[in-house]
Amino acid sequence: MPLLADRAPAKVNLTLHVLGRRVGDGYHVLESLVAFAGTADRLTLDPAAPLGLTVSGPTAGPAGPTDDNLVLRAARGLAARVPGLRVGAFHLVKRLPVAAGIGGGSSDAAAALRLLARLNGLSLDHEAVGAVARETGADVPVCLVPRARMMRGAGEEIGPALGLAPLPAVLINPGVPVPTAPVFKALGLAAGQDLPGAPHPTIPQDMATGALLEALAGARNDLEAPALTVAPVIGDALKALRGQGCRLARMSGSGATVFALFADRRAAVRAAAALRTAHPAWWVAPTFLR
């Protein structure tokens, strides 16, 4: 059987409101508008080989030990729930930065579940696929069908795809990994505590781009300020983006990746070229978010 292949696109939090922290499990309750970029990792599956994983690509080193990779966690989890599941050997071409606030590992795991579902004739709404996605990581469920949508709770509440027009954007990662835990610690919410702030704007289906940008301007990323205390270089990246005439610049997730939205693709490409010249050590990607 030929190799199966899929993309694992970067997940970008256009907004990220922290509503509070739950008492029972200590998880933070979030409300976030998520979109997906054109830039992505690539995952292939060889059904003729035994279960395994190899990794290559420019960010393969920081991705860590292959045996603990979320791709294998997802595959083993699905095999445990589906008797007789056909598996195979995965190869991951890692292009996205690691510990970067763009869900690279989660998107890789979601791609593994899509490939295994395709190989075994399972739908993505199969009970086992959804259960393994939730078990593998908080961001994996929203990455299963990578289209713009709202995500709520601790990642378990996934809204319908929103059908937004593609947004020309530039992503920057300044080369500093930022684990999520220190950022939430810097936020400083105790269990049972709420975080005050304006409510998240309503994002209806097929929202026009102008109205969407206006809504985004009135939203925020509540993790941006605490992330700046963990990795001040995030502020440098935001300042660099804002110097390129963007319509909006904000941090994604818990950082350190930041994004900017531009009027059109040419403006995004020009900005990316200028930023690469000024900051050759940074990861810079012009893309569309959708």
Write out the catalytic residue numbers. 11, 139
Instruction: Please state the rounded mean pLDDT for residues 125-152.
Output: 97
Q: Considering Cα of 41, then 44, then 79, then 114, what sign does the dihedral take? A: positive
Q: Output the pLDDT for position 215.
A: 97
Tokens coding 219: 């939203």
Tell me the pLDDT band of 67, cut-offs 50, 70 and 90.
confident
Instruction: Please state the rounded mean pLDDT for residues 110-122.
Output: 98
C-beta of residue 172 within 8 angstroms of C-beta of residue 283: yes
Instruction: Please state the rounded mean pLDDT for residues 226-253.
Output: 98
pTM, to two decimals: 0.96
- Binding site members: 97-107
Give me the domains of the chain, ranges plus CATH numbers.
4-158 (3.30.230.10), 167-289 (3.30.70.890)
Q: Output the pLDDT for position 101.
A: 97
Q: Output the pLDDT for position 183.
A: 98
Tell me the pLDDT band of 228, cut-offs 50, 70 and 90.
very high
Q: Output the pLDDT for position 68.
A: 84
Distances from the Cα of 43 to the Cα of 9, 72, 252, angstroms: 11, 12, 23
- Binding site members for ATP: 97-107
C-beta of residue 222 within 8 angstroms of C-beta of residue 197: yes
